[in-house]
Amino acid sequence: MSDQTGGSHGFHLEAPRRAQPFRAALLTASAGVLAQSARSPSAPPPAAPPASATQPPKAAPDMQKVLDALAGLGGKPIETLTPAQARMQPSAADGAKAAMVQQGMSTAPDASVTTQDVPYGSDAQQFARIYKPAAAPANGKPMPVVVYYHGGGWVIADVNTYDSAPRAMAKALNAIVVSVEYRHAPEFKFPAQHDDAAAAYRWTLQNAASWGGDPAKIAVAGESAGGNLAVATAIYARDNRLTVPRYIVSVYPIANSSMTLPSRKDSTNAKPLNAAMLKWFGYYYQTSAADAQDPRLNLVAANLRGLPPTTIINAQIDPLRSDGETLAAAMRTAGVKVEQKTYPGVTHEFFGMAKVVRGAKDANELAVARLKAAFAGAPRR
């Protein structure tokens, strides 16, 4: 899904260069934080967790080139900053873009896919960017629809950061992709983002036909915090008698609030997402440590029965790797048809880097193939 460039997202060159770092992820490593943050984006960061000497697995050469390019942009450690400062740091998408430039590749967004921003709520952040491929089906046949949720730990990043994946998805699937913007923490804490994700899904069902889409052929996808939102929104649709998505693609989702998962330890010092950043996101996102146990965040404890077939994509060098692996196990126990693949030698945010990271290209092709098959099949009963 991403022709890209940036891990979940992209190189929208016209996009403002404000903050959009690695859609890192939230969670819960913050369960140990007693005091939670104020709602101000200038609230100081939490104390750093104890340092660990554990080194992450070695990245593949093409992935390392992106990490080196990102390091060359001079960003500061997110976990040492306020949200306002973090939103101004270079993102993993910027690192992928820099690697593309070094290799003589164009970073211009694919102009064969058009976009339009449309509000679904009253807040300025409650809008969706609607991607439409130039090659619309003949005879005016409605196109499938994918509702896509970007990452950023619910604190940083936005639809500009994550432009490449939904843009590439729209082209590869010949589908309408609705990339959802939502309110950010700490200005708006949990469950505001989950409420927005659900509202945007309901709104998409109501309006897809007016955009040339088929609301009966709908899927959800997302990365990191957005990978969580994709699953949580499918649960919402099931529980509220809405059209349930035909398929879920969840890329390195936040899904398990345990602080002792294997990947929390072996990738504690990974880049571009580390365990200290998980604590940082949770500190700003949660109102109290108890939020980490809410089944909308701790998806492994949610009622997962009756969900649509799901593909979960993970990176080896990522503190969230075990989240996806344990979510897949929980879904299988609940009777959900699920496949989970951990790609070796790649890091969090790799998904949007298909133009420069082979593992990302492979992951994109898997996701597109599964979505195509779901759209071609009979509706779920």
Active site residue 150: no
Taken in order 46, 18, 23, 216, is the CA torsion positive or negative?
Answer: positive
Residue 326, both tokens: 């344990």
User: 119: which strand partners?
Assistant: 127
Q: Please tell me whether residue 114 adopts helix, strand or coil conformation.
A: strand
The dihedral formed by the CA atoms of 226, 176, 128 and 77, expressed in degrees to the nearest 10: 40
How many Cβ atoms from other residues are within 10 Å of residue 182's Cβ? 29
CA distance 77 to 65: 19
Residue 277, both tokens: 């950043």
Active site residue 163: no
How many Cβ atoms from other residues are within 10 Å of residue 251's Cβ? 33
Choosing from 37, 164, 224, 263, the catalytic residue is 224
Choosing from 94, 291, 318, 323, the catalytic residue is 318
Active site residue 224: yes
Residue partners of 67: CB distance under 8 A and separation at least 6: 59, 95, 271, 272, 347
CA distance 243 to 305: 16
**Catalytic residue numbers, as ranges:** 224, 318, 348
